[in-house]
Chain A
Amino acid sequence: MTISQRFLPLLALGLASLCHGFALAGSSLYRISINGMVCSFCAQGIEKRLKAVPGTESVRIDLSKGMVEITARPGATLDATTLKKAIRDAGYDVRRIEGPSAAGSGAPATTN
């Protein structure tokens, strides 16, 4: 095996990580702890309402933790009051909102 063959996978891995980093740059992440979200039947309503909030790119549900992660579109900022209203309209209560933080970075700021 030549040296270039050995280093090719590493090079590809490095490039992929770089591209992933660029894709996340400019996106902000919000983590919301929700009271009452105990089943997927409940959570799908929350997901639908949050996806309808302008500026939302994606919504990820973690049922076991009762938590939702929202990624905003690059450059967009989501308003905590709007997020809370969307969740209340789905029938649930917000326990805590953390964010915004850069997607892929550390702990976001907290809003109760």
Chain B
Amino acid sequence: MFRAAHFLVVIFSLITALVLLAGMELSSRTAAIAAPLAHKGSFVVSGEVEPLLSSFTVTPALTRSTGVGPALHWMNPETDNGVMGDGEDGGQELWSLLMVTQRLHRWNGAQYQANLWAGVGAGLLTVLPGDGTSVGNRAAWSPWAQADFETRRIYIGASTRWFQAADSERLITSARAGVALTSADYNRWQPWLMLEARTMEGLEQGVEITPLLRLLHRRVLAEAGVSTSGAVRLNLTYTY
């Protein structure tokens, strides 16, 4: 089941990439970014809320390409029959990690920017059973990788992230594409339409497709959308 879902995500990414690369020739003048790291000395604070997976991260940039900061991921796994809040240990999970974020390479062009990112986190997984009593902590770690490409009008990106602790394993893989609805202007909000395909192995079955409206203005990146399964997603990122 999971292999089939990953296959669909990969196919989606390839088709999206081909369509967008073709369109780029026409609209290369005019970017969306969900960069996990901003300029040297900055703090990127990011929160994401949705029924299965909510996150809160703070990433101070120690250098222009390296950040180290805390991350909290709250997970609410589905059971085989699609009921939330009943994971492998019969409860919700809180992954508390110290993350290292590394930009491996950035390609800066006159009309585009492309990035390769990787990171790893280490910390604790706390499983909360349905009755709210903690069953204790386990050592956990989480490697991830992301690739993205953007112009002033187009965004495409893919990422994969693995969460691992004793008796718990989650693999989240996603592909995203987006188109700006207006030209990029430093003094105005720029709306984007984004489309994400995502699999969350260990959290839910199948591929989740989510159209999102993204609003971008200087330090603020906000997103809201509803997935094909009816889940509401809200993301907010602010750079200090």
Query: What is the interface of chain A, defined by CB distance below 8 A to chain B?
Result: 33-46, 48-49, 61-64, 66, 88-93, 95
Output the residue of B29, B112, B184, B185 with the most chain A CB within 10 A. B184
Chain B residue contacts of A35, Cβ below 8 A: 108-110
How far in angstroms is the closest Cβ of chain B from A92? 6
Chain A residue contacts of B184, Cβ below 8 A: 38-40, 63-64
> A36 contacts which of B29, B42, B106, B183 (Cβ < 8 Å)?
B106
A/B pair count, beta carbons within 8 Å: 95
How far in angstroms is the closest Cβ of chain B from A62? 7
- Whether B161 sits at the interface, judged by CB under 8 Å, is no
Chain B residue contacts of A93, Cβ below 8 A: 108
Q: What is the size, in residues, of chain B's interface with A at 8 Å between Cβ atoms?
A: 36
Contact between A95 and B216, CB atoms less than 8 A apart: no
- Whether B38 sits at the interface, judged by CB under 8 Å, is yes
Complex CA distance for A43 and B38, rounded to whole angstroms: 10
- Whether B30 sits at the interface, judged by CB under 8 Å, is yes
Contact between A88 and B150, CB atoms less than 8 A apart: no
Chain A residue contacts of B103, Cβ below 8 A: 91
Contact between B186 and A63, CB atoms less than 8 A apart: yes
Chain A residue contacts of B64, Cβ below 8 A: 88-91
Chain A residue contacts of B218, Cβ below 8 A: 40-41, 43-44
Contact between A64 and B30, CB atoms less than 8 A apart: yes
- Whether B72 sits at the interface, judged by CB under 8 Å, is no
Query: What is the interface of chain B, defined by CB distance below 8 A to chain A?
Result: 29-33, 35, 38-42, 64-65, 103, 106-113, 150-152, 183-186, 190, 216-219, 221, 239
Complex CA distance for A90 and B61, rounded to whole angstroms: 10
The DSSP consensus for interface residues of chain A is mixed
Contact between B110 and A89, CB atoms less than 8 A apart: no
Contact between B239 and A36, CB atoms less than 8 A apart: no
Chain B residue contacts of A49, Cβ below 8 A: 39-40
Complex CA distance for A89 and B113, rounded to whole angstroms: 16
Chain A residue contacts of B113, Cβ below 8 A: 36-38, 42
Contact between B35 and A41, CB atoms less than 8 A apart: yes
How far in angstroms is the closest Cβ of chain A from B142? 24
Contact between B152 and A39, CB atoms less than 8 A apart: yes
Q: Nearest residue in B to A88 (C-beta to C-beta)?
A: B64
Complex CA distance for A43 and B31, rounded to whole angstroms: 11
Contact between A64 and B152, CB atoms less than 8 A apart: yes
Q: Nearest residue in A to B189 (C-beta to C-beta)?
A: A40
- A–B Cβ pairs within 8 angstroms, 8 of them: A38-B111, A39-B190, A41-B219, A42-B31, A48-B39, A63-B152, A66-B111, A93-B108
Q: Known contacts A61-B186, A63-B185, A91-B65; decide if A41 and B239 are in contact (CB<8 Å).
A: yes
Chain A residue contacts of B152, Cβ below 8 A: 38-39, 63-64
In addition to A44-B239, A89-B41, 8 A-B residue pairs with Cβ atoms within 8 Å of each other are: A35-B109, A36-B109, A38-B33, A38-B113, A43-B218, A45-B38, A45-B39, A92-B108
How far in angstroms is the closest Cβ of chain A from B114? 9
Chain B residue contacts of A37, Cβ below 8 A: 113
How far in angstroms is the closest Cβ of chain B from A68? 10
How far in angstroms is the closest Cβ of chain A from B170? 28
